[in-house]
Structure 1
């Protein structure tokens, strides 16, 4: 039985509807898959970027912390240097004041005589020589002689040895020396400087050495 045009048209429409439905379903399937792949890729990209951002800010945070540490260290060093500078200035002022007042020490006969006694005896002990020569200022010869006379017995008793002491009355200490003595062995090659200036310089070196120990 031959199909009429109407039947053909009907079958064509039916096939077209079927094809259209299949196409729509395929499009929906593709869209769904594309949406799924998009969401997966989007999630991957978001996670990747989030990790990059976290790494970036973590790096920045470390840089900021390092910068803070450097700044803190610089500030501490600057403060430390200011403290040391102030301390050095104070020590310098004290030493300068002490140098200015050295000359006043010799103006008090009682105190100066007692000081010379200690300087003379220390000179004996540091040299430990049987014969020594003492140099002093010309105005101090009598004070030094008295100190020698007092300390010879003390020295002999302490070291169980004799000592001969000569006060050099031809070569005196320089005029700028404020006081004290220099003690030499017999041939003059060994010297113990116990002038007021040398004692002050010894104190200054000890103070500076202590300062250096603090710095290091």
Structure 2
């Protein structure tokens, strides 16, 4: 083989090696590009997932805050409604209390009421001797009705007429323009056992409190309708 053939053969081998090298380089480049694209896609998807999770977390926080705010506003509204209803009911009670002050102005009617209150108190206490407390302005009326109250109680309870001692301590008087916010009593009586251990308050104000507590659900229903729980 002469030098020309050898040179030709070497050039062929060089071209083959170069072609193989180029092909291999292309394969490596394509593979690297694919790996890069896959890794890039994975990173992008991972970031997208993180962004979605962060968005969902913030969205939940916003929803929770919205629900809390709504609940607070709803509770505040309910409190305002209940306060307004209480104001109406209290104004009714205050109006009724003012009406009670007029009861003692009709002496005949008031004396009969005092007698009935004393009899009712005796029936509750069932004591042979009691202390009776009344207002200063009611003293004469109380003294007037005590005998008939004793007799009526004795007849109803089928017992001897009880001893009724009128206490020297008086219930507060009706409110005046000079002392509208002090202790006052619209009328009625308070009876107690001799030892003071059993007390039955039968003043007009106490009876008003009892009636209002007892009738409050009915009053609310009449005024405001059926209130949802």
TM-score (normalised: structure 2): 0.72
CA 1:30–1:169: 2 relative to 1, 3 Å: closer
Q: Distance in 1 between matches of 2:103 and 2:61?
A: 61
Using the TM superposition, give the Cα deviation of residue 169 of structure 1 relative to its aligned residue in structure 2, in angstroms: 7.8
The 5 A counterparts of 1:53-72 are 53-72=51-70
Name the residue aligned to 2:194: 186
The 5 A counterparts of 1:67-78 are 67-78=65-76
TM-score (normalised: structure 1): 0.76
Name the residue aligned to 2:181: none
Contact 2:135 2:172 (8 Å CA) reproduced: yes
Structure 2 unpaired stretches of 5+:
175-184, 221-226
**SS of structure 1 residue aligned to 2:102:** helix
Using the TM superposition, give the Cα deviation of residue 22 of structure 1 relative to its aligned residue in structure 2, in angstroms: 0.7
Contact 2:117 2:188 (8 Å CA) reproduced: yes
Name the residue aligned to 2:141: 142
Q: Tell me which stretches of 4 or more aligned residues in structure 1 moved more than 6 Å.
A: none
Q: Which of 10, 26, 29 is residue 28 of structure 1 equivalent to?
A: 26
**SS of structure 2 residue aligned to 1:106:** helix
Name the residue aligned to 2:92: 94
**SS of structure 2 residue aligned to 1:10:** helix
CA 1:28–1:103: 2 relative to 1, 3 Å: same
**SS of structure 1 residue aligned to 2:3:** coil
Name the residue aligned to 2:205: 197
Q: Distance in 2 between matches of 1:132 and 1:169?
A: 10
CA RMSD of aligned residues (A): 3.3
In the alignment, does 2:127 pair up with 1:129? yes
For these two proteins, the number of residue pairs brought into alignment is: 207
**SS of structure 2 residue aligned to 1:161:** coil
